[in-house]
Amino acid sequence: MMRYQFFFVLVCLSYRVFSQDSLLKISTQSDVVVRTYQIIKQLPDSIYQMKIVSGKKMEIISLNAQQMDLSTNNYRQLFKRTPGIYVSEHDASGLQTSISTRGLSANRSWEFNMRQNGYDIAADPSGYPETYYTPTLDAVSKVEVHRGSSALQYGTQFGGMINYQFKDKLNDQPFSLENSQTMGSFGLFNSFTAISGNVKKWSYYGFVHHRNADGFRQNSQYSTENYFGKISYQLKKGKISAEYSNSGYVSQQAGGIFDPLLQSNPDTSFRARNWFQVKWNTLSLQGEYNFNELSKLQFYAAFTFSDRNSVGFTKALTTLDTINTSLGSYNPRQVDIDHYVTQSSEVRYLKQYKLGQQLQTWTIGARFCNSEIHRLQQGIGTTSSNLDLTILPDNSGNLFQKDLLLGTENVALFSEHLFKVGKRLSLTPGFRSEYLINQLSGRSNNFANGIMEIQEKNRFILLGGISSNFQLYAKQRIKWSLYANATQNYRPVMYSELLPSSTTEVVDQAMKDVTGFTSELGTKGVFMDRKGPITFDFNAFYLRYNGKIGTYLVNNAPFKTNIGDVVSKGIEAYVEWSFFNPFFKNAAASELLSVYVSGTIQDATYVTWNNPALAQDPTISIQGKKVEYAPSQILRVGLNYDYKGFSFNYQYSYTGSVFTDAANSVQANATATVGQLSAYDIHDASVSYKFNKNYQVKIGANNLFNEIYATRRSGGYPGPGLLPSQGRSIYGTMIIKL
């Protein structure tokens, strides 16, 4: 009898593991024992929500409030099972995502196509893809991570695409409520309230979120407010939804410090008058329609109107922000203001048909995006210390020294076809064509006569790629496949790179867009064991990044151009072993013990340097030097234990040392803007208890052993110098679901 019971468990479990559900429900006898387990990470390898992921590096992270700190958007914990993700932890507020992969830049995640509920959330996805807004993780149900091999479907970014998918509902009742309250170190207070409901064919979901804290360092307070509402109508063969997202925050920028202070006084701040403000609004209409079981259509349209404002004293760290005796007050601050308006839409059609005995899949889509940026910079601000965006005219009567209009229009067509060759092999060729227009005009003291006439740059880009998947095993107890892919990538020159950052900087008028490709070879799968599943994903990658943009000196003046080519290669590995009821084998309640290891070893190096005058000088050339902010090792190890309502989570994170400039300077310079950053390791732990099904309490500690470390240096915002990361913090959360 036990043999048949075990066989039934394996059948149920293998079906659930290989599907897209995030829950496992296992019963040895349906009228005796029912156990439920949550899958935190899934590895789809065929079709996922009308997207072909066969042969690609793609994963789905299901968020679990018991296993991570949602209250501060802790990205180190969010991506703990995702090998190779480098997290720049210079800002503990969680207001902005700064992540990268495979030696790319982590600056506001601009090497990724960042999305929320399927639509773009960057300022200008093609011309200025910096992510100033990130949704609160309290509202997120799952995060989809597509690596560079998926660029043909989502854009041309080398990093790939990350999508924060909100919850659609709390349960199936006409009215449901979720509320969480968190208090923690450094004055942290986080409040989240969500409601949802279903009435016939209508459903709704919405939330209100607030978070504020004093910050780990002096002069680092912040406050954020988020509002979201969504209403959906279920059609006979589809669904249509409308939603509105409103986010705003104000943060005080503590600025950088000198290196010796990192160990002695990391909470020191030399800037008390620097402020940053963001207001973000997005309207979206989304829909899907199923013509039949084999033919589907999906679309979205989104409209974003937002502001990014800053005011501060932005001089080098060696220049103190003190009282100017000649003025009898502080020096006037600099005010910068950006206004963003972006319209984007995308439609995707998926068709499946039989060819021989195999079901083939074809998808085609089109995308349109129009972005406008009104950039106002170098305004003369007040001498006060609060968030005051008042502008004083200069001697010419201008409020800003730079008044620019930046426009981007992007039209793209993409298509992929999943060919199944026999029962085991599948091939997916694809292409993406893009027509991109950039326009710049306006007034700036960096231009001759102070005026830039309309400059327009048009280009047509055609990219191709192919991925393959081979099923080694596809049985009840084993699902194991090999995958390989190669995809061309492309990254347009950004507006921040096209425009001089100072009066002395010269921009190369012949600067080119970045080109290259990404390739991967790996194996992934799930092995079912009597005690639980073993999930794994191992791969090697090779990334070519041609024409990286940077600056070197020409005639003692900064010259911004394509400084050279980069090759990044390495190995990424993830394995997790889960044990069902390891200590209480006969208990009716679900008991789960999971141990995981996620890590990468990479080598990101400059292979060429485009400075003919100095390329042969080994003392100056960057050829053979390491790429900035590209650690050679990243390792995360963790353990999760759940039994009845109790949960314990522990995570260890190690990140190797990085260089912060292309010259690989080891010692810090006088202004602390370059110099090597040391390796560091972080321990996080939490315990939680859920009772009466509707209540949960949680206590956690981030950076348990108070590691003092830094992940970034800055030459501008949020303040020049070394930026320390947050020390130990304790938090407590109460969650109620009704």
The two structure tokens encoding residue 222: 């912040």
Cβ-proximal residues to 694 (8 Å cutoff; 6+ apart), any chain: 736, 737, 738
Give the range of the structural domain holding residue 315, as residue numbers without chain letter: 40-463+655-737
Q: Is 639 exposed, middle or buried (0-12, 13-18, 19+ CB in 10 A)?
A: middle
For the cut 60, the answer to whether the pLDDT of residue 64 exceeds it is yes
Q: Are 176 and 169 in contact, with CB atoms under 8 Å apart?
A: yes
Q: Are 298 and 50 in contact, with CB atoms under 8 Å apart?
A: yes
Q: pTM, whole model, 2 decimals?
A: 0.93
CA dihedral 416, 422, 423, 424 (to 10 degrees): -70
612 within domain boundaries: no
The two structure tokens encoding residue 26: 């296992």
What are the phi and psi torsion angles at 252 (to 5°)?
-90, 135
Amino acid at 238: G
For the cut 80, the answer to whether the pLDDT of residue 424 exceeds it is yes
Percent of the chain with pLDDT over 90: 73
**26 vs 584 pLDDT, higher one:** 584
291 within domain boundaries: yes
Mean pLDDT for 504-519 is 89
Secondary structure class of 104 (helix, strand, coil): coil
The two structure tokens encoding residue 630: 């590209």
What are the phi and psi torsion angles at 495 (to 5°)?
-60, -35
Secondary structure class of 12 (helix, strand, coil): helix
For the cut 80, the answer to whether the pLDDT of residue 619 exceeds it is no
Place of tokens 């370059």: 674
Buried b (16+ CB within 10 A) or exposed e, 30-69: eeebebebbbbbbbbbebbbebbbbbbbbbbbbbbbbbbb
pLDDT given for residue 364 in this prediction = 97
The two structure tokens encoding residue 684: 């996080």
**615 vs 207 pLDDT, higher one:** 207
Q: Are 661 and 620 in contact, with CB atoms under 8 Å apart?
A: no
Q: Is 400 exposed, middle or buried (0-12, 13-18, 19+ CB in 10 A)?
A: buried
Mean pLDDT for 229-235 is 96
Q: Is 140 exposed, middle or buried (0-12, 13-18, 19+ CB in 10 A)?
A: buried
Q: What is the DSSP letter of 56?
A: S
pLDDT one-digit tens code per residue, 403-422: 999 999 999 999 999 999 98
544 within domain boundaries: no
For the cut 90, the answer to whether the pLDDT of residue 632 exceeds it is yes
Q: Are 578 and 594 in contact, with CB atoms under 8 Å apart?
A: yes
Secondary structure class of 616 (helix, strand, coil): coil
Amino acid at 131: T
Mean pLDDT for 550-578 is 90
579 within domain boundaries: no
Give residue 23's pLDDT band: very low, low, confident or very high (50, 70, 90): low
The two structure tokens encoding residue 667: 């010692």
Mean pLDDT for 108-117 is 94
Q: How many domains does the chain have?
A: 1
Percent of the chain with pLDDT over 70: 93
Q: Are 147 and 160 in contact, with CB atoms under 8 Å apart?
A: yes
Helix and strand counts by DSSP (H, E) for the chain: 5, 39
pLDDT given for residue 1 in this prediction = 38
Q: What is the rounded CA–CA span in Å between residue 504 and residue 494?
A: 20
pLDDT one-digit tens code per residue, 324-373: 988 889 999 999 999 999 999 999 999 999 988 889 999 999 999 999 99
Mean pLDDT for 569-592 is 91
Q: What is the rounded CA–CA span in Å between residue 503 and residue 444?
A: 10
CA dihedral 722, 723, 724, 726 (to 10 degrees): 180
Q: Are 689 and 733 in contact, with CB atoms under 8 Å apart?
A: no
Q: Are 230 and 194 in contact, with CB atoms under 8 Å apart?
A: no
pLDDT given for residue 454 in this prediction = 87
> What is the end-to-end Cα distance of the chain in Å, rounded?
41
pLDDT given for residue 148 in this prediction = 82
Q: Are 167 and 141 in contact, with CB atoms under 8 Å apart?
A: yes
Q: What is the rounded CA–CA span in Å between residue 423 and residue 428?
A: 15
The two structure tokens encoding residue 223: 């406050």
274 within domain boundaries: yes
Q: What is the rounded CA–CA span in Å between residue 730 and residue 183?
A: 9
Mean pLDDT for 133-146 is 95
511 within domain boundaries: no
Mean pLDDT for 240-254 is 97
Cβ-proximal residues to 319 (8 Å cutoff; 6+ apart), any chain: none
Q: Are 415 and 358 in contact, with CB atoms under 8 Å apart?
A: no
Give residue 22's pLDDT band: very low, low, confident or very high (50, 70, 90): low
Place of tokens 């008028």: 509
Mean pLDDT of the chain: 90
Amino acid at 668: A
What would you measure as the largest C-alpha separation in the chain, in angstroms?
93
pLDDT given for residue 585 in this prediction = 84
For the cut 60, the answer to whether the pLDDT of residue 18 exceeds it is no
**462 vs 450 pLDDT, higher one:** 462
For the cut 90, the answer to whether the pLDDT of residue 446 exceeds it is no
Q: Is 410 exposed, middle or buried (0-12, 13-18, 19+ CB in 10 A)?
A: buried
Other beta carbons within 10 Å of 602: 24
- Taking the mean position of all CA atoms in its chain, how far away is CA 659? 22
CA distances from 301 to 242, 296, 339, 411, 659 (A): 10, 17, 20, 14, 41
pLDDT given for residue 590 in this prediction = 85
pLDDT given for residue 26 in this prediction = 61
pLDDT one-digit tens code per residue, 252-266: 999 999 999 999 999
506 within domain boundaries: no
Return the bridge partners of 482, or none: 470, 523
For the cut 90, the answer to whether the pLDDT of residue 233 exceeds it is yes
Mean pLDDT for 585-613 is 89
Q: Are 443 and 403 in contact, with CB atoms under 8 Å apart?
A: yes
Secondary structure class of 631 (helix, strand, coil): coil
Indicate the helix (H) or strand (E) that contains 264. Answer: helix 261-264
Mean pLDDT for 197-215 is 96
CATH number of the domain within which 667 lies: 2.40.170.20
For the cut 60, the answer to whether the pLDDT of residue 714 exceeds it is yes
Q: Are 642 and 590 in contact, with CB atoms under 8 Å apart?
A: yes
229 within domain boundaries: yes
Q: What is the DSSP letter of 481?
A: E
Indicate the helix (H) or strand (E) that contains 284. Answer: strand 275-292
For the cut 60, the answer to whether the pLDDT of residue 29 exceeds it is no
Place of tokens 């360092």: 217
Q: What is the rounded CA–CA span in Å between residue 377 and residue 386?
A: 19
